[in-house]
Chains A and B, each alone.
Chain A
Amino acid sequence: MSTATTTALQASLIELIRVTSTVLPRDVVTAVAAGKKQETAGTNAAYALDVIDCNIGLAKTTSQPLCQDTGSILVYVHTPVGYDQITFEETFIEAVKEATVKGYLRQNSVDSITGKNSGNNIGPGAPDFHFHQWREDHVEVKLMLKGGGCENVGATYTLPNAKFGGRDLKGVENAILDCVLQAQGQGCGPGILGVGIGGDRVSGMACAKEQLLRTLDDTNDDPVLSELEQRIINKANQSGIGPMGFGGKTTLMGCKIGKRNRVPASFFVSISYMCWAFRRQGITLAADGNTTKWLY
Chain B
Amino acid sequence: MAVISLTTPITEAQIRTLKVGDTVEITGRLYTGRDAVHHRLHHGEKPPVDLAGHIIYHCGPVMVKDRDKWLCKGAGPTTSSREEPYQWEVMRDHGIRGVIGKGGMGPKTLEGCVKYGCVYLHAIGGAAQVAAQKITRVDGVDWMDLGSPEAIWHLWVEKFPCIVTMDSHGNSLHKQVFEASAAALEKLKA
Which A residues contact B (CB, under 8 angstroms)? 41-44, 47-48, 51-52, 54-55, 58-59, 62, 64-69, 103, 106, 147, 149, 152, 165, 169-170, 173-174, 177-178, 180-181, 184-186, 188, 231, 235, 238-242, 244-247, 275-277
Contact = CB atoms under 8 A, between A and B. Distances in A.
A241 B74 CA distance: 27
B174 A184 contact: yes
Q: Could you tell me the dominant secondary structure of chain B's interface residues?
A: mixed
A68 B181 contact: no
Contacts of A247: 173, 176-177, 180
B120 to A, nearest CB: 13
A225 to B, nearest CB: 15
B184 A239 contact: yes
Interface of B: 1, 21, 23, 60-62, 64, 73-76, 79, 81, 102-104, 122, 124-130, 132-133, 161, 163, 165, 173-174, 176-178, 180-182, 184-185, 188-190
A51 B61 contact: no
Contact of A55 (B104, B128, B188): B128
A68 B124 CA distance: 13
Contacts of A51: 124, 127, 130, 161
- A-B pairs, top 3 by smallest CB distance, nearest first, are A188-B125, A68-B74, A58-B129
B23 to A, nearest CB: 6
A22 B165 CA distance: 29
A56 to B, nearest CB: 9
A177 B174 CA distance: 18
Contact of A66 (B21, B129, B163, B177): B129
12 contacts: A55-B124, A69-B76, A106-B62, A106-B74, A184-B174, A184-B177, A235-B185, A239-B181, A244-B124, A246-B165, A246-B177, A276-B126
A152 B181 CA distance: 20
B190 A58 contact: no
Given A149-B79, A235-B185, A67 B177 contact: no
A52 B184 contact: no
Contact of A52 (B79, B81, B122, B124): B124
A32 to B, nearest CB: 11
B126 A277 contact: yes
Given A51-B124, A52-B124, 10 more contacts: A44-B21, A48-B124, A51-B161, A54-B127, A62-B129, A66-B126, A103-B64, A185-B102, A247-B180, A275-B126
A174 B174 contact: no
Contacts of A276: 126
B119 to A, nearest CB: 15
Contacts of B163: 44, 47-48, 244, 246
A238 B188 contact: yes
A235 to B, nearest CB: 5
A235 B190 CA distance: 10
Contacts of A240: 177, 180-181, 184
Contacts of B102: 149, 185-186, 188, 244
B189 A174 contact: yes
B130 A58 contact: yes
